[in-house]
Amino acid sequence: MSETIVILTGAGISAESGIRTFRGPDGLWEGHRVEDVATPEGFEADPVLVQRFYNERRRALLDGILPNAAHTAIARLQREWPGDVLLVTQHIDHLHEQGGSPQVLHMHGELLKARCTLCQAVQSWEQDLSAESVCTTCETAGGMRPHVVWFGEMPLGMGEIEATLQRADLFAAIGTSGQVYPAAGFVNAAKYAGAKTIEINLASTGTSEVFDEHLLGPASEKVPLWVDTLLGSRKGK
């Protein structure tokens, strides 16, 4: 029976595509901590500010940002690995899909989707969002928000993630600082299930000591090497 792999990616996988990470040197947005803007309270208090935070990121994402070699290498692993591969991303961009991934679980939602708080419909959305935006399902304005999981909100797909971690043989965390939960706890669940664990990152993180292995360097360089090694090891079997 082929091994099950769970991959968790974070903002670091898209850094070389030109998308700023959250906690790097430039990790603030207009002087705001993301934890203050990306919250239901923040949206309640200043919806125009929070919509602007996402409108600017959505516009930037749609303005020529392309996947990098890390995204395309993960897509190759998903296509060629004989066992199950569950790709979970904390990031809200669509670069895994653009890089060819056949499956992506966006546990923190998606920048290119909007949700109507009046009828709960989730819809693709590439324009700016505002209080005037009209839901394509209930055709009502005033209830549209980014389909993004804010701090204090329940991440998406947790049932599938937890069930797959329990049968994982290999867990890889790529480009994440391991500071946001529950994602940061996935490595412990994987280890508990007996999985081998690897961290691929530019630098060590707060959870580095939990991992069995580390690949230190840029994702666009290290992830293709890691995938080649994994697939090469299969060829011999």
Contact 4, 169 (CB under 8 A): yes
Indicate the pairing of strand 170-174 with strand 5-9. parallel
224 touching ligand BV8, by CB under 6 A: no
Q: Interaction with ligand BV8 in 29-48: which residues (CB under 6 A)?
A: 34-35, 38
152 touching ligand BV8, by CB under 6 A: yes
CA separation for the pair 35, 57 (Å, rounded): 16
Query: Among the candidate windows 80-88, 117-125, 132-140, 148-156, which touches ligand BV8 by CB under 6 A?
Result: 148-156
- Give 83 or 206: the residue with its C-beta nearer to ligand BV8: 206
Count CA atoms closer than 13 A to 232's CA, side-chain side.
6
Q: Report which of 63, 71, 42 is spatially closest to residue 146, judged by C-alpha positions.
A: 42
Among 88, 92, 105, 190, which residue sits at the site for ligand BV8 (rule: CB under 6 A)?
92
Scanning 81-214, the segments in alpha helix (DSSP H) are 95-98, 158-165, 186-192
Q: Report which of 181, 175, 188 is spatially closest to residue 217, judged by C-alpha positions.
A: 175
Phi, psi angles (nearest 5°) of residue 235? -60, -35
108 touching ligand BV8, by CB under 6 A: yes
Residue 71 designated active-site: no
Query: Of the listed 96, 108, 147, 214, which one is catalytic?
Result: 108
14 touching ligand BV8, by CB under 6 A: no
Among 6, 74, 75, 149, which residue sits at the site for ligand BV8 (rule: CB under 6 A)?
149
Among 42, 143, 155, 224, which residue sits at the site for ligand BV8 (rule: CB under 6 A)?
155
Q: Give the count of beta carbons closer than 10 Å to the beta carbon of residue 184.
A: 20
Which residues are part of the catalytic machinery?
A: 108
| Residues lying near ligand BV8 in the complex (CB under 6 A) | 10-12, 15-16, 21-24, 27, 34-35, 38, 90-92, 108, 148-155, 175-177, 179-182, 201-203, 205, 218-219
